[in-house]
Amino acid sequence: MPIAKQKIMPCLWFDDEGEAAAKHYVSIFKNSKLGRIGRYSDAGKEIHGKKAGQVMTVEFELEGQQFLALNGGPQFKFDEAISFQVFCDTQAEVDYFWAKLSEGGSEGPCGWLKDKFGLSWQVVPTKVTDMLQDEKSDKGQRVFNAIMQMKKIDIAALEKAYAG
């Protein structure tokens, strides 16, 4: 099924696990779907080095955001310079996305993680932004200090820090 194109679509470069990654992400996020799969042909084989019929691209959509997974080879790896933020309203959502996205990957500081494909994500409670931007007191600073001590964000601990 074709996914309607948006003006800007992130293209994620994988070695050869683009289809597995797209299926993994679609399994985690509700309101998500796989789209078209493009395959390599013999054309350009001397450059791309892929077998005809091998998956080249996979279109997929997560919560209305369209992506393209490209199996381009091992030349490039993900790093923290690009990450995707997942905004969560409840601790249950934070726990769910943290568990699903970090499975097989690694946990980082301050709500950051890397998934099993090496892609960086930030699992962020929606309340955090407002708490951090409280400029009328030292509440925001206390919240910031609390976040700096965390891996997975604990909303109750942040609310406690905010309250003082």
Domain boundaries, given as residue ranges, for the chain: 11-71, 83-163
Phi, psi of 102 (to 5 degrees): -85, -15
User: Cα angle vertex 8, ends 26, 121, to 5°?
Assistant: 45
How does pLDDT run across 111-126, given as a tens digit for each residue?
999 999 999 999 999 9
pLDDT of residue 135: 74
Q: Are 11-71 and 83-163 in the same CATH fold?
A: yes
pLDDT of residue 42: 85
DSSP code per residue over the chain: -PPPPPSS--EEEESS-HHHHHHHHHHHSSSEEEEEEEE--STTHHHH-PPTTSEEEEEEEETTEEEEEEE--TT----TTSEEEEEESSHHHHHHHHHHHHTTSEE-STTEEE-TTS-EEEEEEHHHHHHHT--SSSHHHHHHHHHHT-SS--HHHHHHHHH-
- Does position 163 have pLDDT exceeding 70, yes or no? yes
pLDDT of residue 3: 62
pTM, two decimals, is 0.90
pLDDT of residue 2: 63
| pLDDT over 90 percentage in the chain | 82
Average pLDDT rounded to a whole number, residues 25-54: 91
Q: Residue 35 and residue 62: Cα distance in Å, rounded?
A: 11
CATH architecture of residue range(s) 11-71: Roll (3.10)
How does pLDDT run across 41-95, given as a tens digit for each residue?
988 787 778 888 899 999 999 999 999 999 999 999 999 999 999 999 999 999 9
Q: Look at residues 31, 124, 18 and name the one whose alpha carbon lies nearest to residue 78.
A: 18
Q: What is the CATH number of domain 83-163?
A: 3.10.180.10
